[in-house]
């Protein structure tokens, strides 16, 4: 009988619902890894606010109906733990050549290397994002936003723990080595960079942070959904719980962009500006003009598309066949869940033109997940555009074409406009600042990035949120600053 462990044991050094006390080898390995993690957090975690009391949520249970409690915590004292969603009894492998067989509780020997790679890549992104965001506390537009940043950061730290647990428990000596490497690589480092492109980019300002949490954390959502389908049950369970936390990260992004757009529209209206493309006049109001918001969106969306890998990928086909990584909502799809005889339409570059071509479905799985991702992105755009339309402006934010500004896959060797028209190198160099943030755009946003430490006050470029975190009132002191 499987015991569904719902509540988390907070008595030991490492909170968990995996009965770590009964597993002295893994417990010892994690306790040995712990000081290195704390050192990493102190070196690479949020800069300057480690002694402040932050109103954070901590998981006390894995029951989706109520799992978090809120309290003031100093970040280094946050209880990073190992939390697996409850086991599903008699779970079967939902796809691939082992479709319908009993889900694995141990690593299948033949797939060990492939599985380890997936877990390591997933694990690598989590601390990377913390590193990318570490300087942002200093320019937080409010204590509310600062708290949200730190909440995201501590949870990405926990996601690293989630993957390190899998490595330490199931991958022996190699797992321990990988766990050390995860603390050694650094975002943007020349000799030990993080593994995936977007995680070595900068997050220079708060608009980038909101774009990152909207677009890049959403890649996290898609990938975690795919891994939550895994035939390797411990990975499935850990990803399922990570997804509960992930929702807040994307909420931070979506509402952050909404509030930025709203403030810009309000300021334009108050000043009687009719043309949102009148960048100079809008910027003089101390708000971020809509065309610059579009450019930031173009940048973060295109960087994130690269995280899906190539449109056609044998890695993706192999991982699916093996039963390790499934599709978004795999169990809700009505087909054979093996895909040996089906096709999927893939956008490709054929004779210098962008064409849709039917390809075998298995190697096209990255493309499919990327399409699901694009569809998932659209919701935010509807909301943001509604704010603009309600304010009476004739301006629409759009997702750029998938051929725009790519470093991975079919379109990596060509240049395209944000509308997907192919252009030559010279045209790209001349026009790219129409679609991507320029140095000046960045500098301008930089001038707005000033901290607002008074409870209930907000920097001038962003509107206050509609509701507080944990239903707190508008002037709630989300962070008690202590530097
Ligand atoms: N940058 O067959 P290919 C998150 C490499 S985000 C650098 O085209 P594949 C989070 C690839 O590794 C979710 N290299 O692609 C968000 C391979 O190299 P090797 C993270 C790249 O393997 C915000 C070669 O190119 N989780 O959680 O099918 C905050 C050919 O690869 C890139 C995962 O990604 C790139 N962008 O797909 C915090 C899930 N793309 O092995 C957290 C696990 C490809 O030949 N990862 N390459 O040397 C995967 O499922 C797959 O590895 C990928 C790539 C989807 C990433
Ligand atoms: Fe994460
Ligand atoms: Fe996240």
**Does residue 79 belong to any structural domain of this protein?**
yes
**Does residue 62 belong to any structural domain of this protein?**
yes
SS3 content of the chain, % helix, strand, coil (to 5): 50, 10, 40
What is the separation, in whole angstroms, between the first and last Cα of the chain? 50
- Split at pLDDT 50, 70, 90, the class of 5 is low
* Ligand 1 atom nearest to CA at 128: 38
> What domain range includes position 198?
20-480
pLDDT tens sequence across 335-393: 999 999 999 999 999 999 999 999 999 999 999 999 999 999 999 999 999 999 999 99
pLDDT tens sequence across 183-195: 999 999 999 999 9
pLDDT tens sequence across 343-357: 999 999 999 999 999
Other beta carbons within 10 angstroms of residue 420's beta carbon come to 14
User: Which residue lies with its CA nearest to atom 43 of ligand 1?
Assistant: 118
**316 Cβ inside 6 Å of ligand 1:** yes
**Does residue 73 belong to any structural domain of this protein?**
yes
Ligand closest to Cα of 152 equals: 3
**Does residue 12 belong to any structural domain of this protein?**
no
> Which of 213-242 are b and which e, b meaning 16 or more Cβ less than 10 Å from the residue's Cβ?
bbbbbbbbbbbbbbbbbbbbbbbbbbbbbb
Nearest to 436 by CA among 288, 290, 295: 295
pLDDT at 67: 84
**318 Cβ inside 6 Å of ligand 1:** no
- pTM above threshold 0.95: yes
Q: Which residues contact 395 (CB under 8 A, 6 or more apart)?
A: 276, 277, 290, 388
* Alpha-helix runs per DSSP H in 171-289: 172-184, 206-211, 217-228, 233-270, 279-284
pLDDT of 1 above 50: no
pLDDT at 483: 67
**Does residue 11 belong to any structural domain of this protein?**
no
- Split at pLDDT 50, 70, 90, the class of 302 is very high
- Split at pLDDT 50, 70, 90, the class of 482 is confident
* Ligand 1 atom nearest to CA at 308: 55
**377 Cβ inside 6 Å of ligand 1:** no
Q: DSSP string covering 282-347, please?
A: HHHTTS--HHHHHHHHHHHHHHHHGGG--SS-HHHHHHHHTTSS--TTGGG--S-SS-TT-EEEEE
Length of the chain: 483
DSSP, collapsed to helix, strand or coil, labels residue 102 as strand
DSSP, collapsed to helix, strand or coil, labels residue 162 as helix
8-state DSSP, 447: H
Q: How many domains does the chain have?
A: 1
pLDDT of 479 above 70: yes
CATH assignment of the domain containing 251? 1.10.620.20
**306 Cβ inside 6 Å of ligand 1:** yes
pLDDT tens sequence across 246-294: 999 999 999 999 999 999 999 999 999 999 999 999 999 999 999 999 9
- Please, which residues bridge with residue 72 across strands? 55
**Does residue 153 belong to any structural domain of this protein?**
yes
Other beta carbons within 10 angstroms of residue 379's beta carbon come to 11
d(CA 252, CA 244) in angstroms, rounded, equals 14
d(CA 349, CA 133) in angstroms, rounded, equals 35
User: Which residue lies with its CA nearest to atom 36 of ligand 1?
Assistant: 307
User: Which residue lies with its CA nearest to atom 34 of ligand 1?
Assistant: 122
pLDDT at 62: 85
- Split at pLDDT 50, 70, 90, the class of 157 is very high
Residue 130 C-alpha to ligand 3 middle, in angstroms? 10
pLDDT tens sequence across 68-113: 899 999 999 999 999 999 999 999 999 999 999 999 999 999 999 9
**Does residue 124 belong to any structural domain of this protein?**
yes
Q: What is the mean pLDDT of residues 428-439?
A: 98
Which residues make up the environment of ion ligand 3, defined by Cβ < 5 Å?
217, 220, 249
Residue 369 C-alpha to ligand 1 middle, in angstroms? 12
pLDDT at 61: 85
**Does residue 343 belong to any structural domain of this protein?**
yes
Q: Compute the C-alpha angle 177/182/186, nearest 5°.
A: 135
What average pLDDT is seen over the chain?
96
């Amino acid at each position: 009988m499987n015991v569904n462990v719902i509540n988390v044991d907070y008595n030991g050094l490492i909170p968990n619902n995996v009965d770590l006390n009964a597993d002295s080898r893994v417990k010892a390995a994690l306790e040995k890894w712990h000081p290195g993690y704390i050192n990493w957090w102190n070196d690479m975690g949020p800069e300057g606010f480690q002694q402040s009391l932050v109103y954070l949520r901590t998981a006390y249970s894995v029951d989706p109906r109520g799992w978090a409690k809120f309290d003031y915590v100093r970040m280094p004292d946050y209880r990073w733990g190992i939390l697996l969603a409850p086991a599903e009894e008699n779970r079967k492998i939902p796809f691939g050549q082992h479709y319908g067989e009993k889900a694995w509780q141990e690593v299948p020997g033949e797939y060990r290397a492939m599985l380890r790679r997936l877990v390591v890549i997933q694990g690598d992104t989590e601390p990377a994002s913390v590193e990318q965001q570490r300087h942002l506390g200093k320019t937080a537009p409010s204590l509310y936003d600062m708290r949200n940043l730190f909440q995201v950061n501590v949870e990405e730290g926990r996601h690293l723990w989630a993957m390190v647990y899998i490595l330490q428990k199931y991958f022996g000596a190699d797992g321990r080595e990988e766990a050390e490497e995860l603390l050694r690589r650094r975002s943007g480092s020349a000799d030990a960079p993080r593994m995936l492109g977007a995680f070595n980019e900068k997050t220079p300002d708060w608009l980038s942070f909101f774009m990152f949490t909207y677009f890049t954390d959403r890649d996290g959502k898609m990938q975690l959904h795919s891994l939550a389908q895994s035939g390797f049950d411990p990975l499935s369970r850990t990803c399922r719980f990570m997804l509960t936390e992930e929702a807040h990260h994307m909420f931070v992004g979506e509402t952050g962009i909404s509030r930025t757009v709203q403030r810009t529209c309000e300021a334009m209206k108050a000043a009687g500006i009719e043309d949102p493309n009148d960048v100079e006049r809008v910027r003089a109001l101390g708000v971020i003009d809509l065309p610059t918001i579009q450019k930031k969106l173009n940048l973060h969306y295109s960087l994130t598309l690269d995280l899906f890998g190539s449109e056609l990928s044998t890695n993706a086909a192999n991982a699916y066949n093996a039963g390790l990584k499934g599709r978004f909502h795999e169990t809700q799809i009505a087909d054979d869940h093996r895909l040996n005889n089906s096709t999927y339409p893939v956008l490709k570059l054929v004779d210098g033109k962008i064409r849709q071509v039917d390809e075998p479905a298995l190697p096209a799985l990255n493309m499919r997940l990327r399409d699901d991702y694009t569809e998932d992105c659209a919701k935010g755009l509807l909301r943001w555009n509604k704010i603009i339309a309600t304010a009476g402006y004739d301006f629409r934010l759009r997702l750029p074409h998938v051929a725009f500004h790519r470093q991975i896959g079919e379109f990596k060797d060509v240049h395209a406009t944000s509308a997907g028209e192919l252009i030559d190198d010279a045209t790209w160099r001349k026009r790219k600042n129409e679609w991507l943030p320029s140095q000046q755009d960045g500098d301008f946003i930089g001038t707005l990035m000033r901290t607002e430490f008074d409870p209930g006050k907000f920097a001038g470029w962003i509107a206050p949120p509609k509701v507080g975190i944990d239903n707190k009132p508008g002037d709630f002191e989300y962070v008690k600053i202590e530097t």
